[in-house]
Structure 1
């Protein structure tokens, strides 16, 4: 299989490396050419454009931050039509987007003669590096996922099949609601423990020995102890994703108090310019104390 990866960053870089390690022919493209140079040195082909990467590949992974970035790379016009050739090609969206956007993109790819597979991944920088992501896959035809399974196996420990689009995106949002609540709860508990005079290290050791011990706690505990805000999962991504959750909930008339609160907390971190920091950076918001007015986090 020849596979492309468009969007080379915290996730795209290790995904491309693991695909190559599995023996697939990989071509990458980034709007920041410098981010591709380490991959070129590792023997991975670098395309000069998104169209070139797609043309060189049977299937192309889109690992881009948001709707506008995806539209720009695919040269979508005001009517949503794709402006670069994708006929006979498969586009695999691994970014997290709004379910309605994913459905619209599926229509656009189909109208352009291509195949669309929704495949957001659960996991951040370290699971991406170790090939331990969880792939959530949805497509019009299960055979389209079957064809991609070797690539999914190269980057992930499990593929969860979620039916038709936007089933995988909705599954990802439900997962991220739980994950973001966990990030904030761990951070808030550490802030509380320190404020009431506990030995924070001892508190975290106790927590990791108890019933709530999990990979998230093990990963974030040393970062919290060191005030290490280097990005694993970015505040900007968490803010975007919890916004999608809240928008879906509002459309369905659902009351999700934890999600709404986290939207406000992460919005405050964004206002402080912390978008590129790791999610535990919201502890800075907590340390500042409750603002006089925070709005609804939009």
Structure 2
């Protein structure tokens, strides 16, 4: 790939998911320009061939396409400053690919602001953990209404996602992501509860793992989480703070749609408890600590 200004791609946000995604892009030959609020997160991507810059303005000056993988809408506001004096210069004649998980209404408003400033906008949130991001096995959900822009985005995502699912206009990709997350989060919280119950009943975690992975419930994500639980490994593949944010978005979306979401509501409380316990940076499976804390108060 020729790294002219038009073909370079900017990448904002090199967190738990953003860093491995950026690494896959640069290893696929994309001329990548990266920025992160904590600069040392750029180091592995730079070592792979990307160029790090000090400001978002420098990213925009050199890239016609900018991937945004910032933590939440507050970070996006702080970094891009929609409505601020420099916003139009950041997005005019550029494509913003929003790959983080944000409130659907926020995405709609941001799309309108980007378009008003002369830019293009696509939603492309992903489903999967850090391990899936490292393997290029994510599933991306794509929303927008310009076929040429969507095709351009899908081509770029080929190295980071095993599948790209068109969802319709903005914010349909984010609504799909929240629906998918509702299932994944409640399922894995149920796993944590089962392991916690097994602990109290004297069942070894390895034995529980053998039974669960020996039947029809077996899956790569179940195997990964059971392995982490058996080893007491809470290093983040999907961080608790991010899951707590997601459960809040899910329950809000459910309330607005008039949908019942009692499991998601319970999960939201449990993950908020885990954040309060200081576990926000741990893997989501560390929500078992919330259950252990509740059991200790019974």
TM-score category of the 2 structures, normalised to the smaller one: over 0.9
Question: Structure 2 residue aligned with 1:159, among 160, 164, 167?
Answer: 164
* Aligned alpha-carbon RMSD (Å): 1.8
> Is 1:17 aligned with 2:17?
no
User: How far apart, in 2, do the equivalents of 1:4 and 1:112 lie?
Assistant: 18
- Alpha-carbon deviation of 1:273? 1.3
User: How far apart, in 1, do the equivalents of 2:35 and 2:236 lie?
Assistant: 22
Question: Structure 1 residue aligned with 2:227, among 214, 222, 229?
Answer: 222
> Structure 1 length as normaliser, TM-score?
0.94
User: How far apart, in 2, do the equivalents of 1:144 and 1:43 lie?
Assistant: 26
**Equivalence for 1:104:** 109
Provide the aligned length of Structure 1 versus Structure 2.
292
**Equivalence for 1:113:** 118
After TM superposition, the structure 1 = structure 2 runs for residues 2-151 of structure 1, keeping only pairs within 5 Å, are 2-77=8-83, 82=87, 84-151=89-156
SS at match of 2:32: strand
> Structure 2 length as normaliser, TM-score?
0.94
CA contact (8 A) 2:25 2:160 kept: yes
CA contact (8 A) 2:24 2:159 kept: yes
- Alpha-carbon deviation of 1:148? 1.6
- Alpha-carbon deviation of 1:199? 2.3
SS at match of 1:102: helix
Where structure 1 has 5 or more consecutive residues not aligned to the other structure, the ranges are: 294-298
SS at match of 1:136: strand
User: How far apart, in 1, do the equivalents of 2:21 and 2:204 lie?
Assistant: 39
Where structure 2 has 5 or more consecutive residues not aligned to the other structure, the ranges are: 1-6
Question: Structure 1 residue aligned with 2:251, among 229, 237, 246?
Answer: 246
Deviating 4+ runs (over 6 angstroms): none
CA contact (8 A) 2:128 2:138 kept: yes
- Alpha-carbon deviation of 1:277? 0.7
